[in-house]
Amino acid sequence: MACQKAVNSAVHTAARATPTQLVFGRDAMLNATFQAAWQFIRERKQRLVIQNKKHENAKRKPHAHNAGDVVAVKAGKGRKHGSNLCLDPMRIAQVHDNCTVKLVKVADNNGGVVSQTWNIRNTELPITHVQSSVASQDCDHVIQKLWSDHKS
């Protein structure tokens, strides 16, 4: 009960009013009426949404991934300590509009095709576009393996 009262009496950032003031038209603590400026609230909320989108989009990295490219995939947080930072090389089967790629494991003559969908941020640049000076030091072993496989 006390927690609910605290939530209802907290001022909302976008509305600059408490939920109680917006719903009932009066303050919960004081005997005072409250008139909500709904148009102002809508415009302020929209400005905050646009501002947050600009902030998030500023962090986005452009990608040059194409179907057929071979990439190194970052192992992620679930990897064991001391193990490689990148998984085995994978080939891009399809690039989606929502910043994901469908990857197929590069065949090693031990089985069938395995495909997975990954976020582009979890893949290193296409190996065919990476120069040795630009290559990530964490995934050097995968890149060297890819180049040796590519040359043979």
What would the pLDDT profile of 114-134 be if each residue is shown by its tens digit? 778 888 888 876 554 444 333
Give the pLDDT of residue 50: 94
Is the pLDDT higher at 105 or at 135?
A: 105
What is the rounded (10 degree) CA torsion for 75, 87, 58, 54? -70
* Residue 80 CB neighbour total at 10 angstroms: 7
CA–CA distance, 38 with 46 (Å, rounded to integer): 12
Give the pLDDT of residue 9: 74
Which domains, and CATH codes, for the chain?
2-58 (no CATH), 70-151 (2.30.30)
CA distances from 27 to 1, 20, 33, 34 (A): 18, 7, 6, 7
Read out DSSP for the chain? Answer: -HHHHHHHTSPBTTTTB-HHHHHHSB-SSSS-B----HHHHHHHHHHHHHHHHHHHHHT-------TT-EE-BB--TTSPTTS-SB-S-EEEEEE-TTSEEEEEEPP-SSS---EEEEEGGGBPPPGGG--TTTS-GGGHHHHHHHHHHHH-
What would the pLDDT profile of 63-118 be if each residue is shown by its tens digit? 778 888 888 888 777 767 767 777 777 888 888 888 888 988 766 666 666 778 88
pTM exceeds 0.85, yes or no: no
